[in-house]
Chain A
């Protein structure tokens, strides 16, 4: 049962990943290079209305407008950098799913590694403490007593 649930869950996660149903207006007259750039751009830009979606995923009106704008700029011969500049000038760093590294975004970039380091230290400390507890030193008379008890037990059984 547990296995089945895990498989179903895995399928759900897998099927969710490559869906790009909301993308429209991908009319580039068969220009696959432009189309590829378009897909790359719209999956890197955040929709500000539904903030956890890219403008490729979102069906919000604003996302549609932004997709149209990206397409028009691509067809108009703008570079990827110019298109990102256009978005940055209007919505700020937040619009990029991959924000540039600068003083205000440094915690964003190094935060996960700091947390990972803290986690590793905690695990290391716990493992070391536990392994020390696992082997308590026994006094020799205790070992002797234990052996005697075991022997008596065996004699009784035989």
Chain B
């Protein structure tokens, strides 16, 4: 009896391991930045190179920081959802244009629509480095005190926006 039960037991353990393990996304590394102050930055704006945009100006509101680039293929799939979200005017979305040429980025926004209140132009990727960006697109939710409350790695979709991000936004806006 035991000789049948032991392989069966091992098999079941393997099934459990795979069932859990294969659903984990190895690309989603937990960020140490959650509940920490958002790293300060001040860089040129994408549309107006002479003007600056930085974390100091964004204090006092709940906002989203969306890291994007014109060379980023996955950004295209999330972009319509960002445009849709920006139309609802529920939460301001600021863009961090990551390691991108200004002309390419502007053309991209013209083509696909511009959901961003302002886009920051992070040409050399230093801001992205401070935010621990390693897979564009990434989205950060930052509260009134400038603390990062949530980070999403990879493209957003309506499910994530409506069921994860927006409930948190509403809660932060009330609090």
Return chain A residues, CB-CB under 8 Å to B26: 51
Segment at the interface with A among B28-36, B60-68, B79-87, B110-118:
B28-36
Taking CB atoms, residues of chain A closer than 8 Å to B135 are 48-49
CB within 8 Å of B: which A48-105 residues: 48-49, 51, 61-62, 65-66, 69, 88-92, 94
Q: Is the CB of A65 within 8 A of B125?
A: yes
Q: How many residues of B contact A (CB 8 A)?
A: 15
Complex Cα spacing A65 to B135, Å: 14
Contacts of B125 in A (CB 8 A): 61, 65
The answer to whether A94 and B132 touch (CB under 8 A), given A61-B99, A65-B125, is: no
Tell me the B123-174 residues at the A interface (CB within 8 Å).
Answer: 125, 129-132, 134-135
Asked if A48 and B29 make an inter-chain contact with CB atoms under 8 angstroms apart, the answer reads yes
Name A63's closest neighbour in chain B (CB-CB): B134
Given contacts A51-B26, A61-B99, A65-B129, whether A92 and B31 have CB atoms under 8 Å apart is yes
For B153, give the chain A residue with the smallest CB separation.
A48
Known interface pairs A49-B135, A61-B99, A65-B129; A90-B32 also in contact (CB < 8 Å) = yes
- Residue in A48, A88, A90, A94 whose beta carbon sits within 8 Å of that of B130 in the complex: A90
Q: Assuming the A-B contacts A48-B134, A49-B135, are A92 and B30 also in contact, with contact meaning beta carbons closer than 8 angstroms in the complex? A: yes
Report the bound CA distance from A61 to B27 in whole Å: 16
Interface size class of A (residues with CB under 8 A): 10 to 19
Whether the Cβ atoms of B29 and A94 lie closer than 8 Å is yes
Nearest-Cβ distance from residue A60 to partner chain B, whole angstroms: 9
Tell which of B30, B31, B134 touches A49, judged by Cβ atoms closer than 8 Å.
B134
Q: Which residues of A are found within 8 Å of B129, using beta-carbon distances?
A: 65-66, 69, 90
Contact flag A92-B134 (CB < 8 Å), given A51-B26, A61-B99, A69-B129: no
Q: How far is the CB of B64 from chain A (nearest CB, A)?
A: 20
Residues of B within 8 A of A65 (CB): 125, 129
With both chains docked as a complex, state the minimum distance between the C-beta of A39 and any C-beta of chain B, in angstroms. Answer: 21
| Docked complex Cα distance between A91 and B134 (Å) | 9
- In this complex, the member of A65, A89, A90 whose beta carbon has the largest number of chain B beta carbons within 10 angstroms is A90
Chain A residues positioned under 8 Å from B33 (CB to CB) = 89-90
Q: In this complex, what residue of A is CB-closest to B31?
A: A92
**Are A92 and B99 within 8 A (Cβ)?**
no
- Chain A residue numbers with a CB within 8 Å of B130 are 90
> A65 CA to B32 CA in the complex, in Å?
20
A151 to B73, CA, bound (A): 86
Q: How far is the CB of A77 from chain B (nearest CB, A)?
A: 20
Give Cα distance in the complex from A92 to B134, angstroms. 12
Q: Tell me the complex Cα distance, A91–B130, Å.
A: 10
- In the assembled complex, the CB of A114 is this many whole angstroms from the nearest CB of chain B, namely 14
Measured in the bound complex, the distance between the Cα atoms of B125 and A69 in whole Å is 11
Hey, which bits of chain B sit against chain A, CB under 8 A?
26-27, 29-33, 99, 125, 129-132, 134-135
Chosen A-B contacts, 5 in total, with CB atoms closer than 8 Å, are A62-B134, A90-B130, A90-B131, A90-B132, A92-B132
Q: Which residues of A contact B (CB under 8 A)?
A: 48-49, 51, 61-62, 65-66, 69, 88-92, 94
Closest CB pairs A-B (n = 5): A48-B134, A90-B132, A92-B32, A94-B29, A91-B132
